[in-house]
């Protein structure tokens, strides 16, 4: 991403409500950017935000599969100047 440029992020869950962990919901959140969006089972949800400060941020899902402590439920967002 570019600092100061707004984006709309759309998160899709491909799990149904019978998914044993989290009931099919998934999340995309970055604490430092005060962004969190939750997608419903077999649905999507979106959030628009503007990162102001360049840096490297960790995004995570804290709903399923052990939550944010699970390395597979995390990723890296890079915001460039």
- Residues making contact with Cu ion (CB under 5 A): 26, 61, 64
User: Residues 80, 3: contact at Cβ < 8 Å?
Assistant: yes
User: Residues 38, 27: contact at Cβ < 8 Å?
Assistant: yes
CB nearer Cu ion, residue 33 or residue 64: 64
Phi-psi region of 44 (alpha: psi -120 to 50; beta: other; left: phi over 0): beta
Min CB(44)–Cu ion separation in Å: 13
Min CB(68)–Cu ion separation in Å: 10
CB nearer Cu ion, residue 50 or residue 70: 70
CB nearer Cu ion, residue 33 or residue 61: 61
């Amino acid at each position: 991403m570019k600092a100061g440029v707004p984006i709309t992020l759309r998160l899709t869950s491909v799990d149904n409500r019978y998914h044993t962990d989290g009931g099919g919901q998934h999340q995309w959140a970055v604490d430092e950017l005060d962004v969190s969006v939750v997608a419903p089972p077999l649905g999507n949800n979106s959030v628009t935000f503007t990162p102001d400060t360049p840096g490297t941020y960790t995004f995570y899902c804290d709903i399923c599969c052990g939550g944010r402590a699970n390395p597979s439920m995390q990723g890296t967002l890079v915001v460039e100047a």
